[in-house]
């Protein structure tokens, strides 16, 4: 049994991670300020004897004891991180420094969840970890993209200067139960629009691509990355199967049985045209690759929304 801190533990990914760590016998300290996390995501864990919940913003120092730290604290959807861009940047910089300082004091191993957004609108496809990216440092997405790039740099420099045992993963699009239905991400948007009988909003021509990883697969990748002793990262964690937005819309319409139409709106500024991870490192080092096919994961996610939003 390990004492594990999960920052952002009430979020979509964080709540699933907390659940998995408890299932394997760890003691979990969940920290969240509920900026984008939700209490409903962890209500079923609150009475667990090995679960602690602390309401706290990592922009302020945190004093707890932990052997491992998973740093997931940062709004991850465009709607959330653009709502207060300065807050987003502070979480990835000041907050990152505070969490790394805690790791140094506790001599804890820390896994930082970075993002495929560090690649920006990529000129290399698929994206490998040695690609430095194509990011607009002044655009509307820069608060998140550049914040995560700085956070990676902070992790590496704390490792070099103080010997902090770090792990860095770059997460690609992930979906599943407990996604906020109003977070503005394409999977939740399409499902909620289909269930409400509204037109599905496709931006631009709809031929831009993303790669969608089911949350259970993603959490398995995080745990394997934390527990291995071969590579500091970064390592891509995502699904290498590429889908266009129109293909995703068609799958959602089929699985929901919705008769909704598809409408096209202008493409947001700096929206990437292609996004697909090269997971060669994850396969070789972590012995990891996603298992859940898109339609199977979408069906589980649709059932969750039907039960929680319309039940």
- Active site positions, annotated: 144
- The residue with tokens 């001599």 is 107
End-to-end CA distance of the chain: 37
DSSP 175: E
Distance of alpha carbon 108 from alpha carbon 111, whole angstroms: 10
CB proximity list for 123: less than 8 A, separation 6 or greater: 134
Q: What are the tokens at 88? A: 């987003």
Strands 51-55 vs 166-171: parallel, antiparallel or unpaired: unpaired
CB proximity list for 213: less than 8 A, separation 6 or greater: 172, 173, 174, 175, 237, 238, 239, 290
Strands 3-7 vs 166-171: parallel, antiparallel or unpaired: unpaired
Contact assessment for residue 203 and residue 267, using Cβ atoms and an 8 Å cutoff? yes
Contact assessment for residue 183 and residue 82, using Cβ atoms and an 8 Å cutoff? no
Distance of CA 279 to the CA centre of its chain: 16
- Does the CA dihedral 296-299-303-305 come out positive or negative? positive
Helical H segments across the chain, by residue range: 12-23, 78-83, 85-106, 142-162, 186-196, 215-227, 245-256, 280-281, 294-309
CA distances for 309 relative to 95, 181, 188, 299, angstroms? 33, 8, 12, 15
CB proximity list for 76: less than 8 A, separation 6 or greater: 11, 12, 13, 36, 115, 144
């Amino acid at each position: 049994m390990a004492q594990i801190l999960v920052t952002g533990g009430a979020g979509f990914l964080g709540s699933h991670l907390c659940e998995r760590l408890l299932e394997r016998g760890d003691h979990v300290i969940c920290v969240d300020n509920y900026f984008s996390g939700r209490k409903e995501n962890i209500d079923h864990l609150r009475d667990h004897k090995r679960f602690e919940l602390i309401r706290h913003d990592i922009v302020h120092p945190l004093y707890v004891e932990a052997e491992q730290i998973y740093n997931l604290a940062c709004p991850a959807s465009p709607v959330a991180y653009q709502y207060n861009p300065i807050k987003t940047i502070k979480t990835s910089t000041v907050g990152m420094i505070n969490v790394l300082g805690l790791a140094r004091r506790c001599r804890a191993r820390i896994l930082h969840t970075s993002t495929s957004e560090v690649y920006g609108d990529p000129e290399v496809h698929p994206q490998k970890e040695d690609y430095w990216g194509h990011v607009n440092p002044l655009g509307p997405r820069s608060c998140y993209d550049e914040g995560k790039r700085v956070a990676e740099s902070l992790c590496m420099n704390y490792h070099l200067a103080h010997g902090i045992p770090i792990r860095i993963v770059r997460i690609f699009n992930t979906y599943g139960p407990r996604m906020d239905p109003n977070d503005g991400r394409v999977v939740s948007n399409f499902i909620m629009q289909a269930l409400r009988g509204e037109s599905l909003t496709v931006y631009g021509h709809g031929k831009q691509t993303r790669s969608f990883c089911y949350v259970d697969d993603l959490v398995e990748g995080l745990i394997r990355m934390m527990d291995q002793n071969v590579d500091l990262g970064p390592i891509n964690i995502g699904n290498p199967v590429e889908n266009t937005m129109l293909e995703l819309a068609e799958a959602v319409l089929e699985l929901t049985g919705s008769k909704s139409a598809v409408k096209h709106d202008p493409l947001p500024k700096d929206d990437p045209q292609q996004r697909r991870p090269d997971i060669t490192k994850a396969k070789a080092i972590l012995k990891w690759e996603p298992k859940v096919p898109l339609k199977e994961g979408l069906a589980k996610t649709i059932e969750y929304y039907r039960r929680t939003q319309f039940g």
